[in-house]
Amino acid sequence: MKRTVLFAAIFLVTLTATGCSLLPVKHKPADSITPAGRVDLSDSKAVKELLHLQHRQWKDTGYALGGLSRQGIDCSGFVYITYLEKLGIELPRSTELQAQTGTEVARSELRPADLVFFKTGSKLRHVGMYIDNDSFLHVSKKEGVTISKLSDYYWGTRYWHSRRVGD
């Protein structure tokens, strides 16, 4: 009995600790997701508007590891769905693979929709999408879909790198 409880506890801790660095998910989002026509990512104004629209549409959605719906979503799933629904680009589903997509871009050169990555633990990674003026759109475990500042103490000390997709 004690051994079963110990194994269950270890499993739950391991599952919780994986965060958004979840390995690739083997399923696609619900059929209700309609890919957009491809957006010109160099049109900063249009891209910012689409990211703010996505925030308004998803802001009451909470965090759920592996989630891909308004009942709950994780960081890489939100990036995946946002790129597909709003920008017409299909990205890999996992943070690990998203961190290898596109080309690396300097933090000082960020533009709307660039992916921003953070190291939130020894093996944990987090991803969001840059909007402008030091802000980025992402899914927080505590707040769900939200906008934060790169310069916030938490995010600023964990910033890892950024990538540009679609150029």
Active site residues: 75, 126, 138
Query: What distances in angstroms separate CA 133 from CA 1, 9, 18, 108, 136, one per listed residue?
Result: 54, 42, 30, 11, 9
8 A C-beta contact, residue 73 and residue 81: yes
CB 165 within 8 A of CB 39: no
Cβ proximity of 138 and 51 under 8 Å:
no
For residue 117, count other CB atoms closer than 10 A to its CB: 21
The span from the CA of 128 to the CA of 165, in Å, is: 13
